[in-house]
Amino acid sequence: MFNLTPYDRKGNFVFNPFRDFDALERAFFGDDGFTAFKADIKDEGDHYTLEADLPGFAKDDIGIDIENGTLTITAERKTSDDKKDDDGNYVRCERYYGSYKRRFNLDGINEDNISAQLKDGVLKLTMPKLAETAPKSRRLEIH
């Protein structure tokens, strides 16, 4: 495979000790390294809308958990594509496994009223904001 080799202006080879580690990571994890699904968060005034792109995932493949003020979205896909000939020998046997996880802080969110829906590969969460409370102040009387 063709690689570009870095040289300085005088034509000397520039040594990069991390290049081999980068190549190892790309070979093991793929070009993107650890990938996560893309998510957009919009402030809609009285609530936030979180839209996460999860194409190809069924509703049963997605988990949404809330714990200790943190929203965790997980998506996991396991498939197997086995093709056998008439004698029962494999012609092709491929397995796919993908797992994604993202966490979001829920400060200022009413956790009890979060709703979710999945449509056309987009998970949409509506997260209402907590009602703002005016700071309480009072004057103490000296006795």
Q: What is the pLDDT of residue 120?
A: 93
Mean pLDDT, 10 residues at a time, the chain of 143 residues: 49 62 66 67 93 91 93 85 70 73 91 95 95 82 89
- Residue 131 tokens read as 């009602």
Q: What is the pLDDT of residue 56?
A: 83
List % helix, strand, coil for the chain (3-state, nearest 5): 10, 45, 45
Is the pTM higher than 0.75? The answer reads no
- Residue 80 tokens read as 């197997």
Give the dihedral sign, CA 18/23/27/32.
positive
